[in-house]
């Protein structure tokens, strides 16, 4: 009986000793690592309108529509600017976005730049503003908070500042050229670059003087 009690005391002391060792900073069991959640969004430029920036358009470049409605004839000498007599056309781009993850993703446009395909000339950065999202229910674009829900699909539009048409000899000269639009997105901290190549659609009917 004495031998059995002695063994029990030894085992108990050893267990206490091990517990104190762990509390003193001994080796611990490695914890399984949790992979970070990454943004998974596919993005493409679905359409581009290369024109002017109506927010900063020169008021002399177009006559008020009220004058035309009143039947007032407009002479070429009374008009100034490349787009004389024509309503301002806003530069813009449309993006097709799809979230293939399960968590919401914040989509920010970091930069937009236009290049002449022929020689690689940059027509400068084009500042994005007024993000909007197409709504089937409303039948038009609505203000967008730049967030995609998990599994969400969206058609969004940004208004852009105008390219520097002087880099290619003016807007009229640009109508026969092909351009590449390069857009950089920030998807919850991850950078993604998308591009689109298309010919500029800048044909404007000349003002007929009668």
160-176 pLDDT per residue, tens: 999 999 999 988 888 88
Q: Which CATH class is domain 41-53+90-199?
A: mainly beta
What ranges do the domains of the chain cover? 41-53+90-199, 59-89
| Residue in 21, 171, 187, 176 with CA at minimum distance from that of residue 107 | 187
Residue 13 has pLDDT above 90, yes or no: no
Residue 93 has pLDDT above 70, yes or no: yes
Give pLDDT, residue 90. 93
Residue 24 has pLDDT above 60, yes or no: no
Give pLDDT, residue 39. 59
β-sheet bridge partners, residue 128: 160
């Amino acid at each position: 009986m004495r031998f059995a009690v002695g063994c029990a005391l030894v085992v108990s002391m050893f267990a206490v000793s091990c517990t104190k060792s762990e509390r003193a900073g001994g080796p611990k069991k490695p914890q399984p690592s949790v992979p970070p959640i990454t943004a998974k969004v596919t993005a493409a430029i679905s359409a581009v309108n290369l024109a002017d920036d109506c927010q900063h358009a020169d008021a002399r470049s177009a006559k008020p529509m009220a004058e035309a409605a009143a039947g007032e004839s407009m002479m070429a000498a009374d008009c100034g600017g490349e787009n004389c007599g024509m309503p301002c056309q806003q530069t813009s781009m449309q993006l097709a976005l799809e979230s293939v993850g399960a968590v919401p993703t914040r989509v920010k446009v970091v930069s937009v730049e236009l290049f002449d395909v022929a020689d690689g000339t940059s027509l400068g950065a084009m500042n994005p503003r007024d993000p909007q999202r197409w709504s089937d229910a409303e039948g038009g674009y609505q203000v967008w908070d730049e967030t995609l829900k998990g599994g969400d699909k969206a058609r969004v539009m940004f208004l852009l500042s105008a390219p520097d048409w002087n880099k290619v000899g003016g807007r009229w000269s640009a109508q026969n050229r092909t351009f590449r639009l390069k857009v950089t997105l920030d998807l919850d901290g991850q950078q993604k670059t998308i591009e689109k190549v298309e010919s500029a659609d800048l044909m404007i009917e000349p003002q007929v003087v009668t």
